[in-house]
Amino acid sequence: MASVAENLLLFRGVWHDRISAYAPSGVELTEDPLGGSPGPVPYEQLVYLDIEGDQFIQTNVVLRGRDPHARTFRGSIVDGVLVFDRLGPQAPEMVGVSGGPGVLVFAPRRIDEEGTTRFYDPDYIRHLGGDQRTRTTTLYREGELVRVLTVMGTRISSDPTQRVPHDPRGATGPVHQSATVSQVYSAEEKS
């Protein structure tokens, strides 16, 4: 069995991710103007990922390569599927599903909603064993594939409830913040 909850437990901890972006042709990009968090690439971030019971929370903190900021996402496991809190106006219902042992997919439950026409970016996350993982994200804008993110991650702490010493927000304070509200699905998007 490789349930969503079991897979999330494999990823519990603090990850140091290195993110690069590519055009569909494979050309490495130096800017990602169309992503949910536009900016220069490559960049690095800390990812605090926690699952307790059926409650999920993740906070991404830019470490270097972009202006500092943090984004928090929350969700709950319902009927074996991770259901994210709505990400913003006109956002689809986002879910996390199992792709087998060590594999998670974060994607809209349905892709026939108005918001997914404007912005659609499924994540394919694979635990490689030990403290290594990868994530590939394909980004579609107005129905067209425009960018692929490639992420290589190393777990640097098994405790996602405490900030790591090199967190740019400082080593003390709450790990998570209010859930991030995104405008990327809205017709009134402000990137």
CA distance 157 to 18: 16
Q: Could you tell me if residue 173 is inside a domain?
A: no
CA atoms within 13 Å, Cβ hemisphere of 128: 10
pLDDT at 185: 65
The CA-CA-CA angle for residues 122, 125, 129, to 5°, reads 175
| CB atoms inside a 10 Å sphere around CB 101 | 12
- Read off the pLDDT of residues 121-143 as tens digits, 9 standing for 90 and up: 999 999 999 999 999 999 999 88
Q: Could you tell me if residue 153 is inside a domain?
A: yes
- Can you give the pTM of this predicted structure? 0.93
Residue 162 DSSP class = S
CATH number where 123 lies: 2.40.128.20
Q: Domain range for residue 39?
A: 4-157
User: How far lies 110's CA from each of 38, 100, 117, 122, 184, in Å?
Assistant: 24, 21, 11, 12, 17
Read off the pLDDT of each residue in 86-94 and give the average, rounded to a whole number. Answer: 80
Q: Could you tell me if residue 97 is inside a domain?
A: yes
pLDDT at 95: 96
Q: What is the dihedral of CA 147, 101, 83, 59, to 10 degrees?
A: -60
Q: Could you tell me if residue 171 is inside a domain?
A: no
Amino acid at 98: S
Counting the structural domains of the chain, the total is 1
In this predicted structure, the answer to whether residue 188 has a pLDDT above a threshold of 90 is no
Band (190; pLDDT cuts 50, 70, 90): very low
Q: Could you tell me if residue 163 is inside a domain?
A: no
CA distance 20 to 30: 8
Q: Could you tell me if residue 145 is inside a domain?
A: yes
CA distance 95 to 112: 15
Contact indicator for 103, 7 with CB cutoff of 8 Å: yes
pLDDT at 186: 67
Q: Could you tell me if residue 119 is inside a domain?
A: yes
